[in-house]
Structure 1
Amino acid sequence: MEENSLGGSKYLLLIVDEASGCMKGFCLRAKSESEDCIKTIKTYIMKVQTQFGKKVKFVRHDGAREFATNSLKDFYEDEGIEQQTTVPYAHQTNGTAERAIRTIVTIGRSMLHHAKLDKCFWAEAAMTTIYVMNRLPSPKIEHKTPFEIVYKSKPSVKHMHVFGCRTYILTPKEKRLKSVQGISTL
């Protein structure tokens, strides 16, 4: 992204499950911090395998340096995961992830514009977009939601509000001094 997020992140790592379409995003401070990226990928794969009892069969990526480390290659080999590298500079060969990233960035920018929020909120907008997209029906999976495929239950959207809407902070009675006007936050 052009600007660092409030948390200092500059990059979005997106993992897309090809079977369900479910997405998981991670905000990273730098691509050069490949140890963080490697740890994030390893942790996520182990979590998927433990939480859902499903074996990750392959990982497809664009061949960027942060994905081509010996540490990750060894991990994939130990776990029996096939590593597929797409053709360099041919983004269409990694179509699912590339299209998802483009959609997330476009929707995120629209959300920031609509909420009149600064660009430094890009990470929050991206994560919100991923959250919402995981709860939208998809024709690719028989009009079910990615959430429904993964968690075996229909998602609730009752708790959702407009991105950037006015919220109020709940202060315990013991700490209240006076009435506080609503504060525009996420």
Structure 2
Amino acid sequence: MIGRAVSRRKDEFSTGRHLARAALSRLGCPVTALGMGKFRQPLWPEGTTGSISHDGGYCIAAAQHIKSGVAGIGLDLIDIPGRTSRMAEIAPLFLADEKELAAVNVISSLIMPELLVFSLKEAILKAMAGQLDRFIDLREIQLHGQTATKVRLAGELVPMRLSAEQIGPILVTLAIRLR
């Protein structure tokens, strides 16, 4: 699964999977290895959804039973000091529109807008992973509206709840895909 990864990435991958199994165990699910989908996403047990993220030696995982109003959850974790220097430079690779930078200001005015847009889009992809059948370019995801919770994927509105929190040097974003 991760044969060519460097040692630190292997450790983060293994720790993320361990945390995911612990989260599933807390839900009362049998502890089994999580499979990997064609886009390298974790394959969650039937009736559950979850997300794993790791960066800069930090890992986070969450799982929940699929409820009537929730179709998926996505987490993204970013080690801020390790990522901010190149965000403005690589923004054309993930920004659908410059208006996205203003839209996310409603979620947090304290976090670098390019970093926040990138992380939210990563969380959105993870929240939708169970429903995707093709690779999604981050520019296909559009954040807009006065609350930045209007998410469009390939032109279609996707109901989503988004949030972000900075915890010390770490940015954690959450996307909840609603039914």
TM category (shorter chain) comes to under 0.3
Higher relative contact order (CA 8 A, sep 6+): 2
The structure that is helix-richer by fraction is 1
Kindly name which structure, 1 or 2, has the bigger radius of gyration based on alpha carbons.
Answer: 1
Q: Which has the higher strand share?
A: 2
Taking structure 2 as the reference length, what is the TM-score of the superposition? Answer: 0.26
